[in-house]
């Protein structure tokens, strides 16, 4: 059994992330791979095209650290809190440097990934019409529906160089079980040329095969597998740890100035070796508060004659 894919986050980023890459660090609120973002910052990758429906704090940090050249997105806010201040500083004041933007709606961007994953030439959708967004983004076009003659909005496929997908459990080859909010994880993995899967737990292949409906990503689209507990903090991993809403609110304070942001990044990203050290630094009280109550699903029978 080939387990050459199993490596540390440091090795995976070093091997699979290049300057100038188009990257998609997946996860809609759930299982955002912060540990990968932090490793990309530590390894000083630059000129990246950062794609995410919700840039969230992870891209706010990477923008502040100077990793990004361009942001492809559909909702650039701190969910439930307000602004992403580092993104706004880059856009409004070119601090620390200027950032290009390419903006879609959520349907537009998730549709681009779906089209990328399924090699569609483009994807028609019932949105964008009447909005001021298409005139600002020449990638959002209209075509005539060949059946009805009506103008429809279309978006092009997105094929990132790299996707990072965090999951609850995977085997050493990258067969990945995901549950809870599944966001754009599967689409991002299938759309991308290289895929890093990080997992809270590495399990035996028999665990994966005991519940194949839960395998959203099969091993043959995966290039690297990283065992990375707490990878998603301050976002969450359903059933493992809850969302650190308190940190999402604190981020608004931390990022008031570029200097205060960098001070945080120097302490919590550049100042630690890896995710394990980041978690060791985390007050135990806080960690305890994030542990969820159990809520087990009823078992299902996959048997056959």
- Is the sign of the CA dihedral 18, 274, 237, 196 positive or negative? positive
Q: Which is nearer to another protein, 8 or 142 (CB)?
A: 142
Interaction residues for another protein, span 273-292 (CB under 8 A): 292
CA angle 212, 195, 31 (to 5 degrees): 70
Q: Which of 107, 190, 230, 278 binds another protein (CB under 8 A)?
A: 107
Tokens read off for 149 = 């003659």
> Which position among 70, 106, 159, 214 is part of the footprint of another protein (CB under 8 A)?
106
In 3-state terms, what secondary structure has residue 256? Answer: coil
Distance CA 72, CA 53 (A): 8
Q: Which is nearer to another protein, 10 or 229 (CB)?
A: 229
186 is an interface residue for another protein by CB under 8 A: yes
Q: What is the largest CA-CA distance in the chain?
A: 66
Q: Count of CB atoms within 10 A of residue 56's CB?
A: 27
Does 247 sit near another protein (CB under 8 A)?
no
Q: How far is the CB of 237 from another protein (least distance, A)?
A: 9
> Does 131 help bind another protein (rule: CB under 8 A)?
yes
The DSSP call for residue 121 is S
In the set 6, 67, 113, 189, which binds another protein (CB under 8 A)?
113
Does residue number 99 form part of the binding site for another protein (CB under 8 A)? no
Map 151-179 to HEC letters: EEEEECCCCCCEEEEEEEEECCCCCEECC
Please tell me whether residue 233 binds another protein under the rule CB under 8 A.
no
- Please identify which residue in the block is written with the tokens 């919590």: 268
Q: Which of residues 48-77 bind another protein (CB under 8 A)?
A: 53-54, 73-77
Q: Supply angle C-alpha 141, 146, 147, rounded to 5.
A: 130
Where in 8-27 is the site for another protein (CB under 8 A)? none
We find the least distance from the C-beta atom of residue 33 to another protein, in angstroms, to be: 15
Cβ proximity to another protein, 65 vs 113, nearer residue = 113
Footprint (CB under 8 A) of another protein, residues 188-207? none
Cβ neighbors of 99 (< 8 A, separation 6 or more) are 63, 68, 69, 70, 71, 87, 90, 91
Report CA-CA distances (Å) from 212 to 177, 193, 199. Answer: 8, 24, 17
Residue 245 within binding range of another protein, rule CB under 8 A: yes
Q: Which is nearer to another protein, 182 or 272 (CB)?
A: 182
Q: Note whether 183 binds another protein by CB under 8 A.
A: yes
Residue 258 binds another protein, judged by CB under 8 A = no
Site stretch for another protein (CB under 8 A), options 17-25, 173-181, 207-215, 276-284: 173-181
Beta bridge partners, 197, equal 165, 225
Percentages helix, strand, coil for the chain (3-state, rounded to 5) are: 35, 20, 45
Q: At its nearest, how many Å lie between another protein and the CB of residue 186?
A: 6
Residue 242 tokens, joined: 């809850």
Q: How many residues of this chain bind another protein (CB under 8 A)?
A: 57
Quote the least distance from Cβ 90 to another protein, whole Å: 10
**Phi, psi for residue 233 in degrees, rounded to 5:** -60, 135
Nearer Cβ to another protein (17/232):
232
Chain residues in the site for another protein (CB under 8 A): 28-30, 53-54, 73-77, 79-81, 83-84, 87-88, 91-92, 103-108, 110-111, 113-114, 125-133, 136, 150, 179-187, 236, 238, 242-243, 245, 248, 292, 295
């Amino acid at each position: 059994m080939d387990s050459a894919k199993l490596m540390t986050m440091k090795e995976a980023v070093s091997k699979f992330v290049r300057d100038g890459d188009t990257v998609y660090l997946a996860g809609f609120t759930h299982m955002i791979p912060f540990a990968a973002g932090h490793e990309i910052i530590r390894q000083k990758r630059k000129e990246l095209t950062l794609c995410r429906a919700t840039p969230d704090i992870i891209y706010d940090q990477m923008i502040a650290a100077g990793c990004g050249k361009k942001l492809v997105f559909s909702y650039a806010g701190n969910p439930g809190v307000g602004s992403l201040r580092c993104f706004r500083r880059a856009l409004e004041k070119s601090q620390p440097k200027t950032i290009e933007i390419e903006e879609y709606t959520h349907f537009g961007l998730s549709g681009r990934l779906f089209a990328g994953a399924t090699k569609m030439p483009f994807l028609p959708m019932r949105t964008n019409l009447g909005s001021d967004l298409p005139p600002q983004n020449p990638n959002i076009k209209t075509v005539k529906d060949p059946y009805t003659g009506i103008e429809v909005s279309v978006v092009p496929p997105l094929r990132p160089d790299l996707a990072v997908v965090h999951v609850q459990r995977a085997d050493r080859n990258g067969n990945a079980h995901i549950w809870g909010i599944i966001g754009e994880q599967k689409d991002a993995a299938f759309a991308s040329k290289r895929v890093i899967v990080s997992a809270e737990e590495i399990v035996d292949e028999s665990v994966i095969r005991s519940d194949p409906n839960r395998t959203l990503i099969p091993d043959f689209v995966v290039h690297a597998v990283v065992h990375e507990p707490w990878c998603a903090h301050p976002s969450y991993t359903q059933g493992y740890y809850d969302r650190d809403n308190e940190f999402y609110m604190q981020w608004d304070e931390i990022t008031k100035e570029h200097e205060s942001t960098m001070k945080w990044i120097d302490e919590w990203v550049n100042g630690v070796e890896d995710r394990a050290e980041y978690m060791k630094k985390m007050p135990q009280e806080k960690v305890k508060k994030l542990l969820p109550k159990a809520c087990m699903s009823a078992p299902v029978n996959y048997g056959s004659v």
